[in-house]
Amino acid sequence: MRAEHFDYAVIGAGSGGLTVAAAAARFGRKVVLFEKSEMGGDCLNSGCVPSKALLAAAKHAEAMRRAARFGIAPVEPQVDFAAVMAHVRRAIAAIAPHDSQERFEKLGVRVIRAAATFLDPHTLEAAGRRYTARRVVIATGSRPAVPPIPGLADAPHLTNETLFANETLPSHLLVIGAGPVGIEMAQAHRRLGSAVTVIDAGEPLAAQDPELARVVLAQLEAEGVRLIRRTAIVQAFHAGGAVGLELADGARLTGSHILVAAGRRPNVEGLGLEAAGIAYTDRGISVGRNLKTSNRRVHAVGDVAGGSFTHEAGHQAGLVIRNALFGLPVRPERHVPRVIYGDPELAQAGLTEEEARAAHGGAVKVLRWPFSGNDRAQAEGRTDGLVKVVTGRRGIILGCGIVGPEAGELIQPWILALQQRLRIGQMISTVLPYPTRGEASRRAALEYFADFASNPLVRRVTRLIGALIP
């Protein structure tokens, strides 16, 4: 069977794959794109977009409950969960044309709606036909990890891949895992009217700065989400239309639905990686700094290569294009930001305090400014949270974490500061509009010089200079 040849073959039509395919096609390259499932990948269809749409609906419901502080009579919202899920589907549908097969075909990309498998280091097969390409980019993403809990396979359970097809509001949602997905979906369902219990074998939001995570978790518990920490699940069961979990301490939890939010696994199965000479582990495909695999003509980006975020996959895809089209050296950005989109949001860029102290020891200085000291936050009645900045020698910015409303927006100047290796003084000199929550970032930066201003020697010098100035 004769193979059809392309300049680029892209496996996976999520963020990373679509970015590579679109860019290569715009530069006049012949591109084939393989996708065995939905265009747009996990982010559009069962991840970022639907989860944020659900959180938005839940936020409106909660605003109705909290109206009293503004002199408005609070009411308990009447939630039509099927209509809520219709809103989620509309959000997906509004974005889908940008990721659609039709759009990419208009760009000149050949779209093959089938799985692709390597037959050898140079040849792919899909839907009974063979293809070769000068460059191959693997961007197959990841899928939910289902832990090996006895009985779970036989008990009906949801993952992010099936959650957004559910149109019945859970009366009691049992969430396995207190990472970002588990926490976001726990809060969303609680605000929409479900009882919610979250169980984690470790600490909730364990990968986050503990000081910032406590603010998020305190809010969830204040809203009625039950958090069970440091407790293993030993058994899942299903009886009489209900589902349940038995815990290591002997407790038995019964609910209407189980949501598994216990991490992700890279989609490496069925790709024929061994035939292609591509090394991989259970963490995903092994890549070098230039995102090349052990097969020098094959790149891998995103979750399948050990990434975690949609924006990270898009960033890596841009690097692949830079390297493959222009031969330029690349280095993936170290400071990939992460955001938990609960309420309050938690955003982190760069090192946490713990990471910075481990790497830089006594040179670390931590700066904080609470939103209770921010005028806009006071005006809006939302003073929970803070800005926390970590600096190193000579005030070099090492990291920033923000917990509070719109933290994902407020973190953005700090991402630029980290990428440009700015010092804290350069953040202080920025003029910001008043009143904005962004001022809290500048106030946190000013804390770097708080001790300097109170130093007796500095005060004597400034008095002397002041006396000499006419």
Q: What pLDDT was estimated at residue 464? A: 66
Q: What pLDDT was estimated at residue 459? A: 60
55-68 CB burial, b ≥16 within 10 A, e <16 = bebbbebbeeeeee
181-203 CB burial, b ≥16 within 10 A, e <16 = bbbbbbbbbbbbbbbbbbbbbee
435-461 CB burial, b ≥16 within 10 A, e <16 = eebbbbbbbbbbbbbeeeeeeeeeeee
Side-chain half-sphere exposure of 85, counting CA atoms within 13 A: 13
Run of H or E residues at 8: strand 4-11
Across the 470 residues of the chain, what is the mean pLDDT of every consecutive 10-residue run?
92 96 96 97 94 98 96 96 97 96 97 97 96 97 95 94 95 98 98 98 96 98 98 94 94 97 96 97 93 96 91 92 87 88 97 95 95 97 97 96 98 95 91 94 91 63 65
- Chain-centroid distance of CA 388 in Å reads 20
- Distances in Å between the Cα of 279 and the Cα atoms of 207, 294, 308 are 27, 6, 19
Give every CB contact of residue 15 below 8 A, 6+ residues apart in sequence.
41, 43, 139, 302, 310, 311, 313, 314, 317
Let me know if 281 is exposed, middle or buried by CB neighbors in 10 A (0-12, 13-18, 19+). exposed
Name the residue among 294, 287, 280 with its Cα closest to residue 320: 287
- From CA 329, how far away is CA 290, in angstroms rounded? 7
Would you state the torsion angle of the CA atoms of residues 46, 47, 52, 55, taken in this order, to the nearest 10 degrees?
A: 70
Q: What share of the chain is helix, strand, coil (3-state, %, to 5)?
A: 40, 25, 35
Q: What pLDDT was estimated at residue 453? A: 63
Name the residue among 398, 302, 383, 395 with its Cα closest to residue 348: 398
403 with 216: CB under 8 angstroms? yes
- From CA 287, how far away is CA 105, in angstroms rounded? 29
7 with 29: CB under 8 angstroms? yes
Q: What pLDDT was estimated at residue 465? A: 66
414 with 408: CB under 8 angstroms? no
Name the residue among 5, 1, 8, 7 with its Cα closest to residue 128: 1
- From CA 259, how far away is CA 170, in angstroms rounded? 10
Dihedral of alpha carbons 59, 62, 66, 71, sign:
positive
Q: What pLDDT was estimated at residue 449? A: 86
Name the residue among 431, 433, 432, 428 with its Cα closest to residue 448: 428
- From CA 238, how far away is CA 154, in angstroms rounded? 8
Domains and CATH numbers, the chain: 4-144+265-326 (3.50.50.60), 152-262 (3.50.50.60), 344-454 (3.30.390.30)
237 with 151: CB under 8 angstroms? yes
Please tell me the pTM assigned to this model. 0.94
Q: What pLDDT was estimated at residue 327? A: 84
- From CA 303, how far away is CA 317, in angstroms rounded? 12
N-to-C CA span, the chain: 90
- From CA 458, how far away is CA 309, in angstroms rounded? 46
444 with 424: CB under 8 angstroms? no
Token pair belonging to 453: 């201003």
